[in-house]
Amino acid sequence: MIRSAREPFLGSRPNQLLVESMPNSVELDDFERVIMSSALAKGKVEYSDVSGQLDLLIREKSLTKGSWDMYNQIVAKLKRMELLDEKNRPNPVRLSALPAEFLQDGICKTHKRIEELEKDIERVTKEKTDIQSQIYTLQRDRNQLTERLNVLAPPTKRIRQELLEYNIDSYLGYELAAKLSETTKNDLKDAMKCLRGGIATPAAMISLRAAEDVVRKYYELKFQEKPVRIGLKDILDRLMERSDVDKTLVNYLHYIRTKRNEAEHPEKIFTQEESEETFITVTNAIKEIYSQP
């Protein structure tokens, strides 16, 4: 089909023809003015920006519709009128259809909004600078405290630091800890405190003292008598003679006894790693003793 010279070709400029088909000027009701005014001032209308004004208008006009429903209804209408685009922003192509005084008012509000945003930028920039300064100060304080802490309490070598934060009941397990004497539990608690603080030699000595108390309780259990005036070596030798005692366990306890003898020498100094190893050895021995039938 041959198109006449006067017949418009709709495929070439559909948007332009659609706009030309809309009225050259529009009159807005109160609800539409609220929404378009907010859109012009902020570049986009959102319900939270106009809900208060819409509620007020609804009460003034004694309407039953809620502000959210009214908002959606008006926005949909303004989109059909092409005053708002799909993202609820003013359509610049159609702004000329709005009354001049309304546009002037919108321009004033836009200028005011720009000033508010510029002040917000200044405030945020200042806050950012202040926060960065605080972060720098906190980082410096943290580094200084970390250095000081490493001097006062060196990092642990064999035992995770968080394990030493527990009480002895949690470390050994409540069932096993309940079987220990108060003397043993207190010694192990003190050893853990020393290990946390990097006080290595006292931690090792206290751990070894706890081990002797456990061995003496084990002897009392097996012989049904307290080991009065009997040294640790003699206790272990007598335990070794019993058929119901694990010989490997007794040899392990002899090893702990030799470590205790070393600790009693005035010149003996334990490193942090040696002290932690001693604590592990003692607690393993305790677990083994109380696992015996």
Q: What is the CATH number of the domain that holds 264?
A: 1.20.120.330
Predicted confidence band at 104 (pLDDT cuts at 50, 70, 90)? low
Q: What pLDDT digit, counting tens, does each position of 144-171 carry?
A: 877 776 665 566 777 887 788 778 888 8
User: Domain end: 61, 81, 116, which one?
Assistant: 116
Residue 11 lies in a domain: no
Instruction: Indicate whether 193 and 107 sit together in one domain.
Output: no
Instruction: Indicate whether 96 and 212 sit together in one domain.
Output: no
Residue 12 lies in a domain: no
User: Domain end: 116, 137, 170, which one?
Assistant: 116
Residue 147 lies in a domain: no
Instruction: Indicate whether 24 and 97 sit together in one domain.
Output: yes
Residue 121 lies in a domain: no
Q: What pLDDT digit, counting tens, does each position of 13-48 carry?
A: 444 444 444 556 778 888 988 888 888 888 889 999
Q: What is the pTM of this model?
A: 0.49
Instruction: Indicate whether 98 and 206 sit together in one domain.
Output: no
Instruction: Indicate whether 105 and 218 sit together in one domain.
Output: no
Instruction: Indicate whether 99 and 175 sit together in one domain.
Output: no
Instruction: Indicate whether 168 and 285 sit together in one domain.
Output: yes
Instruction: Indicate whether 105 and 183 sit together in one domain.
Output: no
Residue 167 lies in a domain: yes
Q: How many domains does the chain have?
A: 2
User: Domain end: 86, 116, 146, which one?
Assistant: 116
Residue 23 lies in domain: 17-116
pLDDT at 287 over 60: yes
Residue 227 lies in a domain: yes
| pLDDT value of position 25 | 73
Residue 156 lies in a domain: no
Q: What pLDDT digit, counting tens, does each position of 194-242 carry?
A: 988 888 999 999 999 999 999 999 999 999 999 988 999 999 999 999 9
Instruction: Indicate whether 170 and 279 sit together in one domain.
Output: yes
3-state secondary structure the chain: CCCCCCCCCCCCCHHHHHHHHCCCCCCCCHHHHHHHHHHHHHCCCCHHHHHHHHHHHHHHCCCCCCHHHHHHHHHHHHHHCCCECCCCCECHHHHHHCCHHHHHHHHHHHHHHHHHHHHHHHHHHHHHHHHHHHHHHHHHHHHHHHHHHHHHCCCCCCCCHHHHCCCHHHHHCHHHHCCCCHHHHHHHHHHHHHHHCCCHHHHHHHHHHHHHHHHHHHHHHHHCCCCCCCCHHHHHHHHHCCCCCCHHHHHHHHHHHHHHHHHCCCCCCCCHHHHHHHHHHHHHHHHHHCCCC
Instruction: Indicate whether 257 and 187 sit together in one domain.
Output: yes
Instruction: Indicate whether 108 and 173 sit together in one domain.
Output: no
Instruction: Indicate whether 170 and 280 sit together in one domain.
Output: yes
Residue 127 lies in a domain: no
